[in-house]
């Protein structure tokens, strides 16, 4: 008898990112759908990876990451945020932020636990909660501001609430949390056994002089938070899949128990290369202006269009509202425009579990200037 595998994720099919990238390829459209740069990383960084590869740094590194790298990351965090994490016990290198998210959720969530997720949400949060027997409790954020209503969060909390997942700067909306958001969250969780997972992969992609509000900055939040980041996003190397988790010792201990069974550790020469690269602040302090320029070029060109939009405050995504043009379902529209207009986008309804259609499309502006201008020109013709 051939066994029949009962899916643990029956609702999960091919993701929209795969669908839209394939469509962009098949129809020769400009691909502003999936979130990755169409330009290369710094030559210096590539040379460092080559150097450490050739020098023979090619065997398993320690489970939690190369010590020199954890030290270099802890120093960078301390320089940038004036917050200390101990490299030995509170810093873990992972295979992308995705692994950190999986490990943190798995370390915390037990069967029946509830996890608050703000929608629209990055796609891996809810499935990971469910794979661990947890129950996602969704709180809807609505355009144009996508502000968190902390009153709703308070009402959603009950004794089963174990974790709240935060993402700032936010994918897909490009919004960022403010110091008062951090304070509201702290007031809500301070007397409760609730943990936090803060997805901060776009920490350096933040605009208009706004400082990034990492959850580590608030002591009440820091003591219960897994902060995750991604070197893929920060250094334009999304294919390297290398990230990290910062968390207090007791949380890190449980996090590493999961991490060791997931991947055990992460590519060695890249860790040595990044350890060295991170030491120079000039390698990351200019990232906000680098991406702000791209956002501005795209938005400036889009001013001649019929879209309505608020400039993105962070991440490399710009959302636009198309309600004045058509009332088509966003998922149908983004496919149609990929074919007919030649620009691929992501329909924002895919980030809501009930596919709420607010007539919003997401465009990724992590592209060279020429590509952004040509894409905007096509969009302005609609």
Ligand X SMILES: Cc1ncc(COP(=O)(O)O)c(C=O)c1O
Q: Which residues of this chain interact with ligand X, rule CB under 6 A?
A: 35, 96-98, 122, 167, 171, 199, 201, 230, 232, 238, 241, 243
CB of 351 to ligand X, least distance (A): 10
CB of 294 to ligand X, least distance (A): 16
E strands, the chain, are 30-31, 91-94, 114-119, 135-140, 161-167, 195-199, 225-230, 243-246, 317-321, 343-344, 346-347, 360-364
CB of 240 to ligand X, least distance (A): 8
306-to-160, 240, 365 alpha-carbon distances in Å: 46, 38, 19
Any long-range contacts for 279-282 (C-beta under 8 Å, 24+ apart)?
Answer: 279/72, 279/75, 279/76, 281/76, 281/79, 281/80
CB of 16 to ligand X, least distance (A): 13
- C-alpha to C-alpha distance for 90 and 256, rounded to whole angstroms: 10
CB of 146 to ligand X, least distance (A): 14
- C-alpha to C-alpha distance for 116 and 154, rounded to whole angstroms: 11
147-to-100, 120, 178 alpha-carbon distances in Å: 26, 11, 10
Q: Which is nearer to ligand X, 95 or 305 (CB)?
A: 95
* CB closest to ligand X, residue no: 96
CB of 273 to ligand X, least distance (A): 16
Helix (H) or strand (E) holding 375: helix 369-380
Measured N-to-C along each axis, helices 43-54 and 268-277 cross at an angle, to the nearest 10 degrees, of 130
Q: Are the C-beta atoms of residues 218 and 183 closer than 8 Å to each other? A: yes
203-to-33, 81, 113, 288 alpha-carbon distances in Å: 21, 11, 29, 9
DSSP 222-272: HTTEEEEEEHHHHTT-GGG--EEEE--HHHHHHHHHHHHHHTSS--HHHHH
The length of the chain, given as a count of residues: 382
CB of 199 to ligand X, least distance (A): 5
Q: Which is nearer to ligand X, 305 or 362 (CB)?
A: 362
CB of 97 to ligand X, least distance (A): 4
């Amino acid at each position: 008898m051939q066994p029949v595998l009962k899916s643990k994720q029956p609702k999960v099919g091919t993701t929209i990112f795969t669908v839209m990238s394939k469509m962009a390829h098949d129809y020769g459209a400009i691909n502003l759908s999936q979130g990755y740069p169409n330009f290369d990383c710094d030559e210096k960084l590539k040379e460092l990876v080559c150097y450490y590869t050739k020098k023979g740094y090619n065997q398993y590194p320690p489970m939690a990451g190369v010590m020199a790298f954890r030290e270099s990351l802890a120093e960078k965090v301390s320089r940038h945020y004036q917050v200390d994490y101990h490299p030995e016990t509170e810093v873990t290198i992972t295979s992308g932020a995705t692994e950190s998210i999986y490990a943190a959720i798995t370390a915390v969530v037990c069967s029946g636990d509830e996890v608050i997720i703000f929608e629209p949400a990055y796609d891996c949060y809810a499935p990971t909660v469910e794979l661990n027997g947890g129950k996602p409790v969704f709180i809807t954020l609505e355009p144009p501001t996508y502000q968190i209503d902390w009153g709703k969060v308070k009402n959603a909390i009950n004794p089963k609430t174990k974790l709240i997942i935060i993402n700032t700067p936010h994918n897909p909306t490009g919004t960022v949390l403010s110091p008062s958001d951090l304070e509201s969250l702290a007031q809500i969780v301070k007397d409760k056994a609730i943990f936090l997972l803060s997805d901060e992969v776009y920490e350096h992609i933040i605009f208009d002089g706004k400082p990034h509000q990492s959850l580590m900055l608030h002591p009440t939040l820091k003591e219960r938070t897994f902060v995750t980041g991604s070197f893929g996003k920060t250094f334009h190397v999304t294919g390297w899949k290398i990230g990290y988790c910062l968390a207090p010792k007791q949380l890190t201990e449980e996090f590493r128990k999961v991490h060791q069974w997931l991947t055990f550790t992460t590519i060695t020469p890249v860790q040595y290369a990044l350890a060295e690269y991170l030491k120079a602040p000039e390698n990351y302090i200019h990232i906000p202006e680098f991406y702000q320029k791209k956002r501005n070029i795209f938005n400036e060109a889009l001013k001649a269009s019929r879209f309505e939009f608020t400039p993105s405050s962070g991440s490399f995504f710009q959302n636009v509202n198309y309600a004045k043009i058509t009332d088509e379902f966003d998922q149908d529209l983004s496919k149609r425009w990929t074919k007919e207009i030649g620009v691929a986008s992501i329909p924002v309804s895919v980030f809501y579990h009930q596919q709420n259609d607010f007539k919003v499309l997401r465009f990724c502006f992590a592209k060279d200037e020429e590509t952004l201008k040509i894409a905007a020109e096509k969009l302005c013709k609609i």
